[in-house]
Amino acid sequence: MSSPILFRLGLVVAGGVVGTAARLGLGLALPAPAGSGLGAVPWATLIANVVGAFLLGVLAARLPGSHAVRVLLGTGALGGFTTYSAFAVGSVTLWHAQPWLAAGYAVGSLALGIGAAALGLDLARPRSSHTQAHG
């Protein structure tokens, strides 16, 4: 393996450690759901995924995909912070208890995530001086 590949791999690992630890902290602050109704929604997973989608949108608007900072923060930190697998398991678990709430959680999570990513892209996209003066 060449040195640039190892460097990028190291960036992903370092960022992943930070992102995964942040997700664990969020999970500890908002423990796994218990009960029924909105109390059964896996809020920590929803928050991690929506915030992560927004921040990844910001990074994508500002840095090319191959940029070292984007590899560290996007692939590494935000890849470790966001979690599709916990979203999937949380949706299925909720489905067994409350199918309609699970469907709302799944659809809402996707809609919020896509909306957050779009907002991050839009807010962080560089504007031309003409757009800033007239937009």
The tens digit of pLDDT for each residue in 43-90 reads 999 999 999 999 999 999 999 888 999 999 999 999 999 999 999 999
Asked whether residue 103 is domain-assigned, the answer is yes
For residue 5, what are the contacts with CB-CB under 8 A and spacing of at least 6?
none
- What 3-state class would DSSP assign to 2? coil
In a domain, 35, yes or no: no
Query: Which residue in 112, 105, 79 sits closest to 91, CA to CA?
Result: 105
pTM: 0.88
Q: How far apart are CA 49 and CA 83, in angstroms?
A: 6
- Our measurement of the distance from residue 116's CA atom to the centroid of its chain's CA atoms, rounded to an integer in Å, reads 9
Give the number of domains in the chain.
Answer: 1
